[in-house]
A and B are shown apart, each in its own frame.
Chain A
């Protein structure tokens, strides 16, 4: 049986992470006072563990596949085929939020996130989704700022939201 590419990639990624941690550990100080071990001891254990586990996963992947793995066909898992567009819309929403939150402010960023996620899950009414997002985010904003005294950025809506927010 041919090894599954995904299992190989994940196994190698674990191995690579372990190696990287090991390299990073060599740059840490080992001075540890009475304990005789320093801040580099725990990372060394972690690095060793990750390398061993990476090798173990690689061995399983190459000798007939990971044990007790779940089926590769989505249908066998009771799911549908991979919708790349859905995955991308959810990602777009999260990046839009990162870009907007300190410029346009919390309310608009969360509304954009809301609309993109809904789009990713198959909604076909972006204007409605955005409006619901605005209402929800505005409610959260006012609750946090007025009631909990937690500041959230007002951004472009500052003229409307007044003194609330930062």
Chain B
């Protein structure tokens, strides 16, 4: 523990250099600004801003990304509360009570409890990441390819089959992503797969192109076609921004409970922040002394889900940094940001790139403080962003989103691919097929394949290696149960 503290202090000495503070500050400002834009969730924000970091050194770039990652979530809460358009599924629970509070003229306290709650949860969760990461690494250093493969299968199961309204549609999305992941040169034999002689495809499909296509182009096509002519109602920010004594009293316990719910969900690869936000909402609804306020704008109903969201998103950094396994679309894009620098997160990263990792973790503490300062007094500026008319807003989003995809290789093929993924995103949105599993499948699929083949190379082709080693056997069994039990239940119910 003392050693961890020492490493963290060293991290602060890196994160607090003037340039790194500057990158962190630019990151949180850009992240908040883009996150506030309606229809732009954290995953798209990170994907869109990726090209900005091409010329930075890895530490500075990743510190900026951590800022964008957090900023996008803070910004998203503002939009959710004032506009009732949750930019991602993890914000739906916040939208329930938050928008009602805004409608009742209590937008100020709703924004305050969400910002302070995010700060409290984010900071506690960062402390937990700091303490937990070295422990996970101890274990992970003993993992072989079979264990990694099993953990990746577990992550696939939770992100596709457990979350969302339909197991089969979640799995379809996952396999689509896995297919896209096989396109290009096979890393182990150099054989080209499904590239059809197109040189641009040999390098594989870039996760940024897929994410921007599904989230930005698909979203633009969908919103233009189905909701661009609706009247939008932005709730005004009137009255005091500050929370009353009563508001504080009701928010505190909700923040802490939500942190306890959110962090574990993020840190075991259990798929995203959606479940903990709803769990927190349900918990607060059950425990509140003011049940009549739920459905009319109860402050606990904003405080809880927002804190749960932040705690779980921060918790997701544990599997991302220590195992290299992303558990949300946003984490998947962060992983690709690492890979762009030739860095593969995992236990060895903490040894080979200690400066980078601990600088990044320290910058999370700083980022949370910056965001609290940035969001509470300056919320009026962010609210102005919401008054940009929809046509100009989406036109601007696409100018930046396509720039992100184009500047990767300066290629028109990428723009065409982007449009194809846009059509795909439209279809997936319209027929309720989740997109996050496809993004995670694309980035994690090739890694899982590599581990699988490594495991078999060690065992000389003996498949039993996955079930004779206790850890991998257990993890695979749990994954199978997660997949099979709900199926059996639904079959029994119908019979």
Contacts and interface: CB of A to CB of B under 8 A. Distances in A.
Contact of A80 (B168, B230, B410, B432): B230
B432 A69 contact: yes
A43 B191 CA distance: 13
Nearest to B229: A80
A41 B223 CA distance: 39
B338 interface: no
A46 B445 CA distance: 10
Nearest to A114: B395
B169 interface: yes
Given A41-B453, A60-B168, A122 B415 contact: no
Interface in A36-50: 36-39, 41-43, 45-46, 49-50
A102 B412 contact: yes
A90 B172 CA distance: 27
Interface residues of A, number: 79
A53 to B, nearest CB: 5
Interface string B210-234: 0000000100110111111110000
Contacts of B457: 33-35
Given A36-B456, A80-B227, A50 B179 contact: yes
A36 B403 contact: no
B406 interface: yes
B395 A133 contact: yes
A34 B461 contact: yes
Interface in B163-213: 165-166, 168-169, 171-172, 175-176, 178-179, 182, 186, 188-189, 191, 193-194
Nearest to A42: B449
Interface in A63-100: 66-70, 74, 77-80, 82-84, 86-87, 89-91, 93-95, 97-98
B392 interface: yes
B179 to A, nearest CB: 5
A36 to B, nearest CB: 3
Contacts of B22: none
B394 interface: yes
A130 to B, nearest CB: 10
Nearest to A69: B432
Given A66-B169, A114-B399, A121-B391, A86 B175 contact: no
B9 interface: no
B422 A68 contact: no
Interface stretch (B13-21, B50-58, B294-302): B50-58
Contacts, number: 214
Given A39-B188, A53-B171, A90-B220, A122 B54 contact: no
A42 B395 contact: no
Contacts of A86: 224-225, 228
B54 A117 contact: no
A122 B193 contact: no
Q: Which of A77, A121, A153 has the most CB of B within 10 A?
A: A121
A98 B224 contact: no
A121 B401 CA distance: 17
Given A66-B166, A150-B51, A28 B191 contact: yes
B189 A29 contact: yes
Interface string A16-41: 01000100100011011111111101
Contact of B228 (A7, A45, A83): A83
Contacts of B171: 49, 53
B398 interface: yes
Interface residues on B, range: 35 or more
Interface of A: prevailing SS: helix
Interface string B452-493: 111011101100000000000000000000000000001000
A94 B217 contact: yes
Interface string B106-132: 000000000000000000000000000
Q: Which of A32, A83, A120, A152 has the most CB of B within 10 A?
A: A120
B220 A53 contact: no
B166 A67 contact: yes
B407 interface: yes
A149 to B, nearest CB: 6
Given A79-B227, A94-B217, A129 B392 contact: yes
A155 to B, nearest CB: 13
Interface string B314-349: 000000000000000000000000000000000000
Q: Which of B191, B407, B453, B460 has the most CB of A within 10 A?
A: B453
B221 A87 contact: yes
Contacts of A153: 410
Contact of B427 (A10, A38, A45, A69): A10
Interface of A: 6-7, 10, 14, 17, 21, 24, 28-29, 31-39, 41-43, 45-46, 49-50, 53-54, 56-57, 60, 66-70, 74, 77-80, 82-84, 86-87, 89-91, 93-95, 97-98, 101-102, 110, 113-115, 117-123, 129, 132-133, 136-137, 140, 144, 148-153
Given A7-B431, A70-B432, A95-B419, 4 more contacts: A54-B172, A57-B168, A78-B230, A121-B228
